[in-house]
């Protein structure tokens, strides 16, 4: 829930800074099917049907990052998207190194008020021997359920990229300062 609230805050910041959200309609996005399918799969394995086979869900979790990469590569000319892509790449590296699961710090998990273990597939979990743990979910955000959460450096880059993308795409065009010859 916290991630949804952060994304909505990014969107809400655009008109507060003088941007026009309708300019998003002018973006010519390619391969939207890839990112929408990736989001749907992640929602399915983490929220709707979390009690599936861990090996299958870990593979699907990795697949969602590959699908997001297809979308990012197809839209690489959109300003700000490279920051978002860098965050996704960091997350993919650490998730791949941990067999499809983002390692979470026990301290961050406790700070967020999250249970140490949970039933079903956990896309983020405290692992016994995590690899690249510094890139994992090491930032605990306290709050009542469902606002408490853990974030990674990659997540922070994803939200920074979203902010840059939104503000650049929604900015009012600047008047030209070029002078025409007399």
Is 80 among the domain residues? yes
Is 121 among the domain residues? yes
Domain that holds residue 102: 31-170
End-to-end Cα separation, the chain, in angstroms: 58
Is 22 among the domain residues? no
- What's the confidence (pLDDT) of residue 13? 96
Please work out, in degrees rounded to the nearest 5, the angle formed at the alpha carbon of residue 40 by the alpha carbons of 131 and 68. 55
Mean pLDDT by runs of 10 across the 182 residues of the chain is: 87 95 93 96 89 90 93 93 94 93 93 82 88 95 87 95 94 65 54
Is 54 among the domain residues? yes
Is 7 among the domain residues? no
Count how many domains the chain has.
Answer: 1
Is 18 among the domain residues? no
pTM of the model: 0.85
- What's the confidence (pLDDT) of residue 114? 87
Is 179 among the domain residues? no
- What's the confidence (pLDDT) of residue 121? 78
């Amino acid at each position: 829930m916290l991630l949804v609230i952060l994304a909505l805050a990014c969107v809400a910041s655009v008109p507060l800074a003088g941007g026009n959200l309708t300019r998003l309609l002018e973006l010519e996005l390619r391969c939207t099917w890839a990112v929408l399918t990736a989001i749907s799969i992640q929602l399915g394995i983490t929220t709707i049907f979390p009690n599936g086979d861990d090996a299958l869900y870990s593979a699907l979790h990795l697949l969602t990052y590959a699908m997001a990469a297809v979308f990012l590569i197809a839209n690489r000319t959109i300003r700000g998207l490279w920051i978002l892509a860098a965050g996704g790449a960091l997350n993919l590296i650490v998730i791949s190194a941990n067999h499809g699961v983002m390692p979470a710090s026990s301290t961050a998990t406790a700070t967020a008020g999250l249970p140490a273990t949970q039933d079903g597939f956990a896309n983020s979990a405290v692992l016994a021997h995590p690899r690249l743990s510094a890139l994992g979910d090491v930032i605990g955000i306290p709050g009542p359920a469902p606002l408490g959460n853990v974030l990674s450096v990659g997540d922070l880059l994803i939200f920074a990229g979203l902010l840059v993308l939104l503000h650049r795409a929604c900015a009012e065009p600047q008047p030209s300062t070029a002078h025409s010859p007399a």
